[in-house]
Amino acid sequence: MSDVSQNSVRLHALAVATTIALSSMVALSATAAERINLSGLEAAQTYDRFIVKYRDGSSQRTDTVQLKASLDKAARVLPTAKGRAIGLQHVRRMAVQADVIKADRKLDAADAESLMRQIAADPNVEYVEVDKLNHVVFTPNDTNFSQQYGFGTGNGGIRATQAWDITSGAGTVVAVLDTGITNHSDLNANMLPGYDFIIDTAVSADGNGRDSDPSDPGDAYGGNPSSWHGTHVAGTVA
């Protein structure tokens, strides 16, 4: 084989090897990016706590020395502050087998992202994200909400707004044993089939006994208007 042909083969082999190496680097970079959750970062905030989960079977899951070595390696890549590198301390292991990590100084969003990317470069990392306090706040958009004294924090109020900060009750079924229910646009979408348990037609005022119709015909008596209390309670629940 001529020298020209040999050089051509060598160059071709080098080009192939370079392409494979670059492809591997791109694949590794993409994989590492998928292991970082950046949704908790805000430009105006600082961060010093992070949650890192290592994969099952990794040495970092079972060996605290290996865990510290991995974290120290990631921290060394970041810029130093006041002549010293960032220190990372293991705080605790969570029930989901992820580790809470604390930096020895506050990091801005850019440095926090850089640190997480360095941590995620370790293929043993399943995910990394910032550890931050979340405050759940729910404010009703009902224009008549101020009239619903029973929801508030005053006397007789059930403090519903504080409960809504925790859960909206979605998926919960509540049985209301009361005067029945009336047709109401705010309730119809959340109603399940009910039942009329009253046998005495003089009391039920609907002309029949027990049946599968929970409608409230009203409980007006003498000069007193109907209370529609069942609808009121159902509205409170809904």
Pairing assessment for the beta strands 46-54 and 36-37 based on DSSP bridges: unpaired
Share of the chain above pLDDT 90, in %: 27
Find the farthest-apart pair of alpha carbons in the chain and give their distance in angstroms, rounded: 117
| Of 157 and 70, the one with more pLDDT | 70
pLDDT band at 83 (very low <50, low <70, confident <90, very high): low
Type of residue at 88: L
| Residue at 191 is within a domain | yes
Are 153 and 122 within one domain? Answer: no
Query: In CATH, what number is assigned to the domain containing residue 44?
Result: 3.30.70
- Per the structure, the complete domain to which residue 72 belongs is given by 32-130
17 falls within a domain: no
Total number of domains in the chain = 3
Instruction: Indicate if 163 and 179 belong to the same structural domain.
Output: no
Q: Are both 95 and 158 inside the same structural domain? A: no
Confidence tier at 99 by pLDDT (50, 70, 90) = very high
- Residue 125: what are its φ and ψ, rounded to 5°? -80, 130
- The DSSP output letter for 54 is E
Q: Are residues 123 and 209 in the same domain?
A: no
One domain, residues 51 and 125: yes
Decide if 79 contacts 49 (C-beta within 8 A): no
Is the pLDDT at 30 greater than 50, yes or no? no
Residues 65 and 103 reside in one and the same domain: yes
Residue at 184: amino acid letter: H
Do 67 and 122 fall into the same domain?
yes
Same domain, 53 and 125: yes
pLDDT class for 53, splitting at 50, 70, 90?
very high
On the question of pLDDT at 13 being above 80, the answer is no
Q: State pLDDT tens for residues 101-153.
A: 999 999 999 999 999 999 999 999 999 999 987 655 566 677 777 777 777 77
What separation in angstroms does the CA of 189 have from each of 81, 125, 166, 181, 193?
58, 45, 23, 13, 12
**Pick from 32-41, 79-88, 213-222: least confident:** 79-88
Would strands 125-130 and 36-37 be described as parallel, antiparallel, or unpaired?
parallel
